[in-house]
Chain A
Amino acid sequence: MRGCSSRAKLAHGRDTAVCMTNCPTLIVTVGLPARGKTYISKKLTRYLNWIGVPTREFNVGQYRRECVKIYKSFEFFRPDNEEGLKIRRQCASAALNDVRQYLTEDGGQVAVFDATNTTRERRDTIIQFAEQNGFKVFFVESVCEDPDVIQENIVQVKLGSPDYTNCNTEEAAEDFMKRIKCYENSYEPLDEVLDRDLSFIKIMDVGQRYLVNRVLDHIQSRIVYYLMNIHITPRSIYLCRHGESELNVNGRIGGDSGLTPRGKEFGKKLSQFLQTQGISDLKVWTSQMKRTIQTAESLSVPYEQWKVLNEIDAGVCEEMMYEEIQDHFPLEFALRDQDKYRYRYPKGESYEDLVQRLEPVIMELERQENVLVICHQAVMRCLLAYFLDKTAEELPYLKCPLHTVLKLTPVAYGCKVESISLNVDAVNTHRERPEVGISLEAHRRAHTHPQEDGSVWPDMAFSPRAFSSTGCTVQASAFLLTHGVNLTPNPQHSKHPTRK
């Protein structure tokens, strides 16, 4: 829960980090090869990082590939191959060592240990390791006997694996099937009775059925909920912003204005585009702001309005131009550039807040199939960061231009992105990350303002002296402003061009 994990910043700046997990969690995958363990590991890792839980995956197969440079054949995995077993055990140990490092020293909260872990013996080793280090363990087992699903897995992710770069398709598939066989005999699935004291979820037949045992805490409960909502049915997610709005054209942020003529043109083009895509059963979602709804109206199909898709609330800066924000709230403007992800507008929101309120949208997007989401710049950045696994640092600077549709299609372990510009001109609303000086003295910073022709114009220098000397946190800034801290901008500022 985002709220729980946010740092408790008190008025006098004491920082008490409150975790939603008490001790770190080790998620351990279990299952024969080609059962989707790595798919689940990567997806889960991506989700947890996006909601703010530092998570990393540790794929034992990777360690094996680093150890045994060249993969010869399935023989490596034969249960009677002593040499192979030794190496594999070492690789698992090396991975566990890295897990320990990540969870105890590198600030990780969740580690996903991705391997077959098909024997009780191996799992006991892991449990012991976790107990010694004070980690909670949660097993995620994937059980599947549907040959079509397994075949599709192999085609999507195994044939392209580094192990099979020099094989043709048939050879690779055959070898891989033999590899699976090597594990089958010694496979001991998690058992309702024998393993009744362990915490685990057993996913059967790609989500038809789940067995959930002893969920211990909040994070495990969220993981279970997430795993129960994802699916692998092929589909596409279309993300776009509303058409160009009146306030966009005036260079103002936020507000609730309607579309310009060009914005309406985009609506028409969007409708035509969707028809050419021939999408079955498309769901259309908008925010509750006029500009997204007007855009959706052009499509002449039913749409759902979500309040949580509303643009980031810029609080006291609503409907201002960046130049005005600089004039009236230079401290705030500087703080925002320092940490655009965590910075919260006074009486407004931060990107971090946005992610928290968008979580139900992501969960529902996972459940759904073909969806078009018509939203706003900051919101689209957050959604895109989830699908493309972008960090909090990158998120606020992702490019999401007006009048462009992003088509996301899940493929293999990630997402294929197609960017389709619908050829309707619009203003550019993207503000690049300015260069941030790090000296404690007054430092100059170039403010970058987007221009209509798409170029970026560095024009103003800015020196936030007062801010740098207090070393205050972003949350405390609101108190500073209300207590009369006044900042005079550097007189060297040159006048920036006004935009229409």
Chain B
Amino acid sequence: MEFPQLEYLRRRRCDSAVNTEQKKLTQTPLLKIWVPWMGCSLNRRRGSSVPQFCNSPTMIVMVGLPARGKTYISKKLTRYLNWIGVPTKMFNVGQYRREAVKIYKNFEFFKPDNEEAMKIRKACATAALKDVAAYFSKEQGQVAVFDATNTTRERRAIILSYAKERGYKVFFVESICDDPEIIAENIKQVKFGSPDYVDRDIDEALEDFSRRIECYRASYMPMDDEEDRKLSYIKIFDVGSRYLVNRVQDHIQSRIVYYLMNIHVTPRSIYLSRHGESELNLLGRIGGDSGLSPRGQKYANALATFIRGQNIRELKVWTSHMKRTIQTAEALGVQYEQWKALNEIDAGVCEELTYEEIQENFPEEFALRDQDKYRYRYPKGESYEDLVHRLEPVIMELERQENVLVVCHQAIFRCLLAYFLDKPADELPYLRCPLHTVLKLTPVAYGCKVESFFLNIEAVNTHRERPVNVDINRNPEEALLTVPEHV
């Protein structure tokens, strides 16, 4: 049962006490959201591009023996939720432990009869929980991912009661895996590089870590179908071969389950590229649906050569519905899929204008965009925030797929890149995505390796830095300071 937006209700009650007749609507200048005019309370009104689905804060609690992918899942989930606009933070209890016990000696710390260590570990969990509470109450967080083994029913009960007292929802994510190969691979990928093992050689580290796992195994109580039937959780078996899902309470939990069921760990690479240089690019005009310039066509051919040279297994190629990406893909000579969701950001009334023309005709809009480029929506157009919303199915499908080449556009590229490289909203619209450059992203350990390939074909620069003066009353020279050169 979801509760109504309490904050919203409170405001409404105040408003109706003050003014009972129907209020005029005005459109907020930045987001282009229609809101009732409420004088000075206008800017406090929550109006956003996407519906808000979180009411009570949610704690996602990881469960599982060491080396079962809990931190991998925590980081990935946190990255995904933040990208779709749900403020999320991860709390790794191991980190707290490393801060409390500066130097890690060996697995003996984790022995169940080590009272001293037990005390420290419990204190660390408590400290992490306190930080979770602070994140929710003081930092407007909506989801906290509590990353620890949480292998005993007792520990989970403590978390549940802590959450219940404060009105947080709890969703458990348990990872169960007994495949020795997978566990060995995990250990290799992320444990050897851990601060705990910085001074050990590989065999020592492996031996110690295996004994660490054994310390937990004896007291491990997995989530139980019967005993835990009232709890909300997902159990992931064997890296996604099987899932057990119990009592999904709300929208965000449903999205989390969907996401977790679509990710995989099979090695693969994602290639991101913009279309080749277009006619409108040359003229310094934004948007539109023009074809490739001669240099752009050259790039398409170079891209084909590059891709062939990469010897990629079963590559899928995706484009938008716009001529320039399709022309680029055509040069590859392979099948490709068109996604309307990959179309460039709609600049509305500014479509096909140069920045100079935008400054001349819509100076206020131009300034607003520089003030908050992520949330700014073009009149009759879109914002980066809108883009992220429409790209979510693309990201979901990218997670499902293996080797993919995405031929897209500047703003789209920035949004996708921000997802893979965990860039926040204020950096996203300024990520550098030059023409004629392919980015190869390869998931590794907890993140993504990035390789950049410039295919040696000149192109105009379309990147506009944020100017220093973003005030509505700035003069045109200041506004146009960072506009890249064009014909």
Contacts and interface: CB of A to CB of B under 8 A. Distances in A.
Contact of B262 (A210, A221, A305): A221
A285 B51 CA distance: 9
Nearest to A12: B330
Interface stretch (A85-93, A118-126, A287-295): A287-295
B266 interface: no
B238 to A, nearest CB: 10
Interface stretch (A37-45, A211-219, A483-491): A211-219
Contact of A353 (B242, B340, B394): B340
A214 B49 contact: no
Contacts of A211: 242-245
A485 to B, nearest CB: 17
Contacts of B242: 192, 196, 211-214
B337 A3 contact: yes
Nearest to B383: A307
A288 B400 contact: no
Interface string B38-68: 0000000001111110000000000000000
A215 B399 CA distance: 14
Interface in A6-30: 6, 8-11, 16, 18
A35 interface: no
B336 A357 contact: no
B34 A208 contact: no
Contact of B51 (A9, A290, A305): A305
A478 B339 CA distance: 18
A308 B386 CA distance: 10
B175 to A, nearest CB: 15
A278 interface: no
Contacts of B323: 11
Interface in B233-257: 241-248, 251, 254, 257
A488 B241 CA distance: 62
Contacts of B478: none
Interface in B325-347: 326-327, 330, 335-342
A326 interface: no
A297 interface: yes
Contacts of B22: 264, 267, 297-298
Contacts of B386: 307
A304 B51 contact: yes
Contacts of B338: 3, 6, 8-9
B329 to A, nearest CB: 9
A34 B242 CA distance: 27
Contacts of B9: 302
A10 B25 contact: no
B87 interface: no
Contacts of A258: 25
A432 B336 CA distance: 37
A228 B326 contact: no
Given A213-B241, A294-B25, A1 B397 contact: yes
B244 A210 contact: yes
| Interface bracket on A | 35 or more
Contacts of B351: 347
Contacts of A71: none
A288 B241 CA distance: 41
Contacts of B225: 209
Contacts of B289: 347, 478
Interface in B342-361: 342, 351
Residue of A8, A298, A306 contacting most chain B CB atoms (<10 Å) = A8
Contacts of B400: 218, 221
Interface string A351-377: 001001100000010010000000000
Given A11-B323, A297-B22, A305-B33, A215 B337 contact: no
B125 to A, nearest CB: 28
Interface residues of B, number: 59
A228 B243 CA distance: 12
B466 interface: no
A420 interface: no
Contacts of A11: 323, 326-327
Nearest to B5: A302
Contact of A290 (B34, B262, B380): B34
B463 interface: no
Nearest to A215: B261
A255 to B, nearest CB: 10
B34 A288 contact: yes
Nearest to A302: B8
B50 A307 contact: yes
A473 interface: no
Contacts of B4: 281, 302
Contact of A307 (B261, B380, B389): B389
A81 interface: no
Interface string A250-281: 00000010100000100100000000000001
B52 A304 contact: yes
Contacts of A214: 241-242
Contacts of B327: 11
Given A215-B261, A300-B12, A307-B386, A18 B337 contact: yes
B390 interface: yes
A419 interface: no
Given A218-B397, A297-B22, A289 B34 contact: yes
B25 A209 contact: no
Contacts of B247: 208-209
A225 interface: yes
A307 B346 CA distance: 14
Interface string B297-330: 0000000000000000000000000010011001
A4 interface: yes
Given A1-B397, A4-B397, A305-B47, A225 B337 contact: no
A224 interface: yes
B473 interface: no
Nearest to B243: A212
A48 B476 CA distance: 53
A229 interface: yes
Nearest to A3: B339
Contacts of B341: 3, 356
B286 to A, nearest CB: 14
B36 interface: yes
Given A6-B338, A215-B261, A210 B251 contact: no
Contact of B25 (A225, A290, A302, A347): A290
Contacts of A8: 335-338
B112 interface: no
Contacts of B390: 357
A74 B122 CA distance: 61
Residue of B229, B337, B389 contacting most chain A CB atoms (<10 Å) = B337
A472 to B, nearest CB: 16
Interface of A: 1-4, 6, 8-11, 16, 18, 192, 196, 208-215, 218, 221, 224-225, 228-229, 256, 258, 264, 267, 281, 285, 288-290, 293-294, 297-298, 300-302, 304-308, 318, 347, 353, 356-357, 364, 367, 478
Interface of B: 1, 4-5, 8-9, 12, 16, 22-23, 25, 27, 32-34, 36, 47-52, 225, 229, 241-248, 251, 254, 257-258, 261-262, 289, 323, 326-327, 330, 335-342, 351, 380, 386, 389-390, 393-394, 397, 400
8 contacts: A4-B339, A11-B326, A221-B258, A221-B261, A288-B33, A290-B25, A308-B389, A347-B289
Given A218-B397, A267-B22, A297-B36, 18 more contacts: A3-B393, A9-B338, A11-B326, A18-B337, A208-B246, A210-B243, A211-B243, A212-B245, A213-B242, A225-B254, A288-B33, A294-B25, A297-B22, A302-B9, A302-B12, A305-B33, A307-B49, A478-B289
**Across the A-B interface, the 4 shortest Cβ-Cβ residue pairs:** A3-B339, A304-B51, A212-B243, A210-B245
